[in-house]
Amino acid sequence: MNGQVNKRRLLLDAAIKVFARKGYHASRVGDVAQEAGVAYGLLYHYFGSKEEVLETIFRETWAAMLEAVHGIEATGAPARDQVRKVAAVVLGSWKLNPDLIRVLIREVTRSPHIQQEIEEIGQAFDTLERIVRRGQAAGEFRPTLEPRLAAWVLYGAMEEILTGWVIERPPADDEEVALAAQNVTEILCDGLVADGAPRDAGRPAEPSVAD
C-alpha cells in the first residue's frame, strides 16, 4: 500500500514540475512519466487522464490549505492575528513549493471548468468571513464592513500577490514574502487611512435638505 501511495505521490510531484516548466496544455502524459522515471502506462493506473492529474493537484493542495486555515480559526486568537496567520500560510506556500504555485496560478485558478466542480474556494471564503464576523463582534473590526466582501478582498489580495510572483517576478527572499503577508494584514485590518486622519476624509458630503 505504501508503495502505491509513494508512486502516486511521485507522479503528482513529477506532474507539478512538468506543468510548471512546459505548461499544462503543452505537457504530455509521457513527459510526466519520464520526469518520474516510470513506465508510460503507470500514470493511468492511478489517474484516468491528464486532466484528473491537474484536478488532483488542486484538490489535495486546497485540502491541506483549508486544514491549515481551519486550524488557525480554531485557535480562537484575535481576528487580526488570524488574518495575519492566514496570509502568512497562503503566501508562505511559495517558499515551500514555487512550482506548485506556478501550476495553480497559471492553470487551475484560471480554469472555469475545474472551479465549477469544487467547493474548496467557497469553504475558504466561509472561513475568512467567520473570522471577520468574530472580529466585528469583538470590536476589532469596523461594524460597517460587509464580512463576505472583506473575505473576497483578502482572498483576492493573496491570489494577486501570488500571481504577480508568477507572472512578473518571484520574491527576492523570505523577508519579502513575510513583508507581503504583513502588508495584506495591515491593508485589510487597518485600511488605507493614515494614522490621525479622519475616517470620513474624502467622503462626499451628505446632501442638505435644501438640495
Q: What is the pLDDT of residue 59?
A: 86
What is the separation of C-alpha 174 from the centre of its chain, rounded to a whole number of angstroms? 17
Angle between helices 2-22 and 50-74 (to 10 degrees): 100
Q: Provide the residue ranges of all domains of the chain, joining segments of one domain with +.
A: 1-48, 50-190
For 50-190, CATH gives 1.10.357.10
Contact call for residues 29 and 43 (beta carbons, < 8 A): yes
This prediction has a pTM of 0.82
CA–CA distance, 20 with 16 (Å, rounded to integer): 6
Amino acid letter, residue 7: K
Q: What is the pLDDT of residue 202?
A: 42
Q: What is the pLDDT of residue 109?
A: 60
Q: Cβ atoms within 10 A of the Cβ of 3, count?
A: 7
Q: What is the pLDDT of residue 88?
A: 95
Q: Which three cell numbers stand for residue 17?
A: 514540475
Q: What is the pLDDT of residue 118?
A: 66
For 1-48, CATH gives 1.10.10.60
Q: What is the pLDDT of residue 114?
A: 63
CA–CA distance, 28 with 48 (Å, rounded to integer): 14
- For the chain of 211 residues, list the mean pLDDT of each consecutive stretch of 10: 75 96 93 93 92 90 91 94 95 93 82 64 89 92 91 93 93 93 91 56 48 48
The span from the first CA to the last CA of the chain, in angstroms, equals 77
The beta-strand segments (E) located in the chain are none
Q: What is the pLDDT of residue 45?
A: 92
Q: What is the pLDDT of residue 4?
A: 65
Q: What is the pLDDT of residue 199?
A: 52
Contact call for residues 30 and 40 (beta carbons, < 8 A): yes
